Amino acid sequence: MNQISANLSQENILLDVQASSKKRAFEQVAQIFEDQYGIARATVFDSLFARERLGSTALGHGVAIPHGRIPKLEDTHIAVLRLETPIAFDAPDGENVRLLVCLLVPESATQEHLDLLALIAKKLSNEETRRKLFNVETTEEVLSILSESENEPSNGLDSEVDLKAEVEAEADAQVEAEAQVKAEAKADLNSNLEDNNNTDA
């Protein structure tokens, strides 16, 4: 067992899901976290998209690691989504994404959370690991692959840079982006209320 498998269960893995866009994929991920942990779908969705506004979480070669910070969350949670058809994700190599390994962490992320994100990136940087994850048929196999010890060489991902530093740098920016999402939602609500009031008048 490694850090990934300690935070991932088979119930959080969906294979060959139909999703036509990043938005639809995030809706599926948000549903997993709501069903398993009671975290509101809207909260998960907004957090993941707030991070995407800072730059795509796609690593290249068909994989991405969307991640978000959730207020009052006590434990780290992981979900895996493998899509039937790859989707556009603004990846550094231009390749569409088929495999998403999604991570939710507490709002005040610790070094342990940063290490976990870097570990996921390292795991997905291995070409053989990616091939297996793209082709296995059961959630049990996915969990087994991600649970393997980290003794294989990393290769094939130019973006397997120092993710810990990248995550640390993004923390304040994500808080700002999340605030912007909430402000825009509030503005839309106020606009709708104003339109309704004008209609009633």
pLDDT value, residue 33: 97
pLDDT value, residue 184: 67
Active site residues: 67
Query: Residue 44 domain-assigned?
Result: yes
Query: Residue 161 domain-assigned?
Result: yes
Q: What is the pTM of this model?
A: 0.76
Residue 18 to residue 26: CA distance in whole angstroms: 12
pLDDT value, residue 70: 94
Query: Residue 162 domain-assigned?
Result: yes
Domain that holds residue 113: 10-197
CATH number, domain at 160? Answer: 3.40.930.10
3-state secondary structure of 74: coil
Query: Residue 1 domain-assigned?
Result: no
Contact 45, 30 (CB under 8 A): yes
Query: Residue 3 domain-assigned?
Result: no
- pLDDT per residue of the chain (201 residues) written in tens, 0 to 9: 578 888 899 999 999 999 999 999 999 999 999 999 999 999 999 999 999 999 999 999 999 999 999 999 989 999 999 999 999 999 999 999 999 999 999 988 777 788 888 889 999 999 999 999 999 999 999 999 998 865 554 555 544 444 544 544 454 455 555 556 656 666 777 676 666 666 665
Query: Residue 27 domain-assigned?
Result: yes
Q: Which residues of 78-108 are buried (b: 16+ CB within 10 A; e: fewer)?
A: bbbbbbeeebebebeeebebbbbbbbbbeee
pLDDT value, residue 5: 82
- Residue in the block written with tokens 């190599």: 93
Number of domains in the chain: 1
Query: Residue 15 domain-assigned?
Result: yes
Query: Residue 2 domain-assigned?
Result: no
Burial class (CB in 10 A: 0-12, 13-18, 19+), 47: buried
